Amino acid sequence: MPSNGKMVCSCGYKQNWGIISEKRKKEKPLEIVDLKQGERVNPEIEADCVKCGHKKAYFWLMQTRASDEPETRFFKCVKCGHQWREYE
């Protein structure tokens, strides 16, 4: 059942702020993804592999330096598996 809500500060100040609803969202069931060995989940983009010349690679981002620095983008060739990284 809905009720009027109040915000109360430790100093004693009080303020009404509307109606609180007792309704709760239905929780969605947890989805478990079972990856088989060797199955890829990284997106594929166009990137030139310097080792074999193939034009497609998987990529992912990783924070390798301080949090105020940009992420490092890693690549892995779809064909030969060569890995490299790109700094910004």
| Residues marked as catalytic | 68-69
Place of tokens 């700094």: 87
Helix (H, G, I), strand (E, B) or coil at 79: coil
Q: What are phi and psi of 38, to 5 degrees?
A: 90, -10
Place of tokens 């490092």: 72
42: β partners: none
